A and B are shown apart, each in its own frame.
Chain A
Amino acid sequence: MTQKEISEKIKENFPNAEIKIIDKKQFSVLVDKEQIIPVLAFLQNIDFKELAILTAVDWIDENQFEIVYNVFSYSHYQQILVKARIDRNNPKIQSVINLWDIAKTYERDVHEFFGIEFIGNDELKPFFLHNWLDLPPMRKDFDSLAYSNEVYGKFKEERDK
């Protein structure tokens, strides 16, 4: 299938989806968070078999997190960024571990660095950070310079004096 055929098919099945063409091998689909599993299951059925990455974007001004599922198909040679917006104050979304096993790792990572909860994934224990008690560090309101100064000593300011 070409890009046009795929996007038309998505539009046909999910009329609410906002489709945006990025280039000839890539386009994005913005859907509601309730629709994320149906959309991804649908894409998996039309041969988008690989979940390349699952990540999050912090839109702090809009008070939202955007979860991005990057799926890829070798047969169509297309990449689709499936996006869903969730509330920043109550960041919860359905887990996709039943569609892709690899999502376990990605969700654990996103949970650690953004504090997003994935309903259905029980293995969200800390991954990279050592004994982390603060705000998740990839959120935009986490000031890493202030953190570094507080924890490791105010070296930067003393050096710049």
Chain B
Amino acid sequence: MVLEMAHGTFACATFNRDFIRGVDMLITSRNDLRDNGWERILNYFRKKSMWMLHYCTGCGAMELPPTMTSRWDMERFGIGPMATPRQADLLLVTGYLSIKSLKRVIYTYEQMQDPKWLIAFGSCPLNGGIYYDSYTVINRLALYLPIDLSIEGCMPRPEAVINGFNTLMKGIEKGTAVGYKKYKENYEWYKKNQDAILNRTKPVFDSGVKS
């Protein structure tokens, strides 16, 4: 299991340029958006009380009950489950994301209040995982929403999840976990990618047959 903090150059800015078609990312480095000053003081307290939205998309949700309950007990790091997006800080995309649930995840993410962090959980949001050739499951979440941290593995064990949370806490303290700012700055870029699959008006392949 490899844990990686997605800071520095944003992967999707250099990747798949032909797919993005036109709009470029304005900000490619998180250092440009880094928290400073008063934010850094707030961040010191924020990192100790993160509320995780209890939203599950795929099979990865299976690893969260043991992470939450007494065996691994994530509450010792100040992370607790939360029922509504407006009160939550963390959004975990636990596993594959179909187009239909992507739409709901975008609603949910946009409902959450700043500061907010998004964790891509498992290999499916990173590269499609075993669903890489599916017609209804997206391959890369980073094209549609800004990922602060990705926890790789299929599935990541609770130790990896806890480790991932700790890495995120370090990122928050350093001021580099600023995905939500990135989303605001590059809203047009993300919206274009989202619209490309959610509001398609033409068929992808011209077959002449319509269902």
A interface with B by C-beta (< 8 Å): 111-113, 115, 126, 128-137, 142, 144-148, 150-156, 158-159
Contact = CB atoms under 8 A, between A and B. Distances in A.
A145 B205 CA distance: 12
B200 A133 contact: yes
Contacts of A130: 99-100, 103, 136, 198
Interface string B38-73: 000000000000000000000000000000000000
Given A133-B202, A159-B127, A144 B133 contact: yes
Nearest to B200: A131
18 contacts: A111-B211, A128-B100, A131-B199, A133-B210, A134-B207, A135-B211, A136-B209, A144-B133, A144-B135, A148-B128, A148-B134, A152-B128, A153-B15, A153-B140, A155-B16, A155-B128, A155-B140, A158-B16
What's the dominant secondary structure at chain B's contact region? Answer: loop
B5 to A, nearest CB: 21
Most buried by A among B103, B127, B133: B133
A130 B135 CA distance: 11
Nearest to B126: A155
Given A134-B205, A144-B133, A146-B205, A156 B211 contact: no
A112 B211 CA distance: 6
Contacts of A129: 136, 211
B26 interface: no
Interface string B99-129: 1100100000000000000000000000110
Contacts of B209: 115, 135-136
Interface string B8-34: 000000011001000000000000000
Interface residues of B, number: 31
Contacts of B177: none
B138 interface: yes
A132 B205 CA distance: 12
A128 B98 CA distance: 11
B204 A151 contact: yes
B127 A155 contact: yes
Nearest to B131: A148
Given A148-B128, A148-B132, A132 B211 contact: yes
A115 B207 CA distance: 13
Contact of A131 (B132, B135, B198, B207): B198
